[in-house]
Amino acid sequence: MKPKLLKILIILAIIFVAGYLIFQASTTFVNPYIPISDLKNDTEAYYGREIQVIGNVTGPLTGDSESLKFTLKDGEDDIIVSYKGPIPQNFMEGINVVVIGELDSEGQLIANQILTKCPSKYVT
Q: Is the dihedral of CA 45, 102, 95, 120 positive or negative?
A: negative
pLDDT digits (tens, 9 = 90+) for 2-21: 889 999 999 999 999 999 88
The Cα–Cα gap between 7 and 28 comes to 32
Q: Tell me, what's the pLDDT at 121?
A: 54
Q: Tell me, what's the pLDDT at 120?
A: 56
| Among 86, 81, 83, CA closest to 71 | 81
Q: Tell me, what's the pLDDT at 111?
A: 92
The pLDDT profile of the chain, 124 residues, written as one tens digit per residue, is 688 999 999 999 999 999 988 887 765 555 678 888 888 888 788 888 888 998 899 878 887 777 889 999 988 889 999 999 888 888 888 888 999 999 888 888 999 999 887 655 555 4
- The predicted model scores a pTM of 0.68
Q: Tell me, what's the pLDDT at 61?
A: 83
Q: Tell me, what's the pLDDT at 11?
A: 95
